[in-house]
Amino acid sequence: MESNSLNFKRTKFACYASYFTMSSVFCLPPLLFVPLRQIYGISYTLLGTLILINFCTQLGIDLIFTLFSKHFHVKKVVRVMPLITSLGLMIYALVPALLPDIAYLGLVVGTVIFSVASGLSEVLLSPTIAAIPSDNPQRDMSLLHSLYAFGVVTIVTVSTLFLKLFGSENWMYLTMLLALLPVIPAILFMLSPMPDMAAQESGGAQGTKHRAFALALCVSCIFFGSCAENVMSNWISSYMESALHIDKAVGDILGVAMFAVLLGIARISYARFGKNIWPVLIFGMTGAVACYLVAGFADSVILAFIACIFTGLFAAMLWPGSLIMMEENIPGAGVTAFALMAAGGDLGASVAPQLMGIVVDQVSVSGFAAQLGASTGMTAEQIGMKAGMLVSAVFPIIGAVLLLTAFRYFKKQEKEL
């Protein structure tokens, strides 16, 4: 029994290592946009399309597992998943370097492959952790998601130093170095037992209709929680540079990195001390509302700066916390349920930042922005950025209402059982 427990500890560590290395998929491509444009002449429009391909591929994987999870050998998929990440990053690095005439094609193929692995990670690592016997499953889930935040900080720091020391023309060696990291969790998975995971959720006393409504509530909560997190995580750098006129290097180091650090600290803190997810989720949603409103309304650069980075603290538990909420209130939730939750989160990560961009573009060219800018001393772009932040506050507002609805519903279900 003790030996089996130790083996599952190794499995758990493999999940943590895999989630940590997954951050390279999100962090690295945007960091390489400038070198790729300079070396291969790829337009920003095409480079931005790579991000869209990334999210669409992940969302596709989420939906495939939602509909067809019973047709997959989940344990085998988990074991090969990190190697798919390595393959994608290797193609991303080598094809442009070896065949510069088809550089963009290589970037697209590499992006699709490592995005498949990233989508699989989101769908399968959470239910794997949930299926491992534990005295504190909430702590394990929170710790898993905290490692993504710390992975972001690590990848950004290492990549910045590498490109500074060795030159951006050697970007492919950085990518190949990062491609070796997923081999570690792959080896750990091969040497470790895998817990049993149900592809479909098991039946329960609540009945099919109640379970479907409960899952819909949880998916809605993770969607709006993801919106609240990802608008700021995607726009904080541009907002600090364009709206607050903070130097880009300072904004990236003190802004983007601090946002990720606070994200990780909050998740680690819940893993260490948290027990009741409901007040944490409500506190996170309402705190995110306050941060977006302050960022949009504040005249003080310092106050707006603090609001931006503290969004990471408040939004930290909204994604993993929604998963914890689902586990606690939908007994026997299987891979299908986790896949649907991942789809909700990825959809929020795609839709909300895009809406922010639309608002910024539309408001910036409006007569309203020109008039308000003339009276306040701000540029039309600054007005557009602030308007985008104010509109984005709608996501956590709706999320807070949904959380209260879910809380009352699940409490009512408990009383009826």
User: In whole angstroms, how far apart are CA 399 and each of 229, 321, 404, 411?
Assistant: 12, 13, 9, 18
Evaluate if residue 176 carries a pLDDT over 70: yes
Q: Could you give the maximum distance between any two Cα atoms of the chain, in Å?
A: 72
Q: Rounded CA gap, 116 and 119, in Å?
A: 5
Amino acid at 243: A
Q: CA-to-CA distance for 253 and 146, rounded, in angstroms? A: 19
Residue with tokens 């750098």: 237
pTM of the model: 0.81
Cα gap 402→218, rounded to integer Å? 9
Q: What is the pLDDT of residue 44?
A: 65
Check: CB of residue 24 under 8 Å from CB of residue 35: no
Report the alpha-carbon distance of residue 175 to residue 159 in Å, rounded.
9
Query: Does the pLDDT at position 392 exceed 90?
Result: yes
Contact 384, 359 (CB under 8 A): yes
- Residue 334, token pair as written in the block: 């299987």
Determine which of 6-10, 136-140, 327-331 has the lowest per-residue pLDDT on average: 6-10
Q: What is the pLDDT of residues 268-313, one digit of tens each?
A: 999 888 778 999 999 999 999 999 999 999 999 999 999 999 999 9
Determine which of 14-28, 325-339, 382-396 has the lowest per-residue pLDDT on average: 325-339
Mean pLDDT of the chain: 87
Taking the C-alpha atoms of residue 355 and residue 392, their distance in angstroms, rounded to an integer, is 8
Q: How far apart are CA 129 and CA 169, in angstroms?
A: 40
Asked whether 144 and 16 are in contact (CB, 8 A), the reply is yes
pLDDT at 266 over 80: yes
Residue 339 in this model has a pLDDT that exceeds 90:
no
The residue-averaged pLDDT of 22-33 equals 81
Sign of the CA dihedral running 296, 297, 302, 306: negative
Is 70 exceeded by the pLDDT of residue 315?
A: yes
What average pLDDT does range 55-66 have in this prediction? Answer: 85
User: Mean of the pLDDT values across residues 71-98?
Assistant: 90
Residue with tokens 């909204």: 318
Give me the pLDDT at residue 417, please.
60
Q: Is the pLDDT of residue 199 over 60?
A: no
Q: Could you give all domains of the chain from N- to C-terminal order, each with its CATH number?
A: 1-197 (1.20.1250.20), 199-417 (1.20.1250.20)
* pLDDT at residue number 202: 47
Instruction: Tell me the CB-side half-sphere exposure of residue 347, using CA atoms within 13 A.
Output: 16
Cβ neighbors of 382 (< 8 A, separation 6 or more) are 242, 243, 373
pLDDT digits (tens, 9 = 90+) for 131-162: 888 878 888 888 888 888 888 888 888 887 88
Between residues 317 and 195, which one has the greater pLDDT?
317
Give residue 137's pLDDT.
Answer: 81
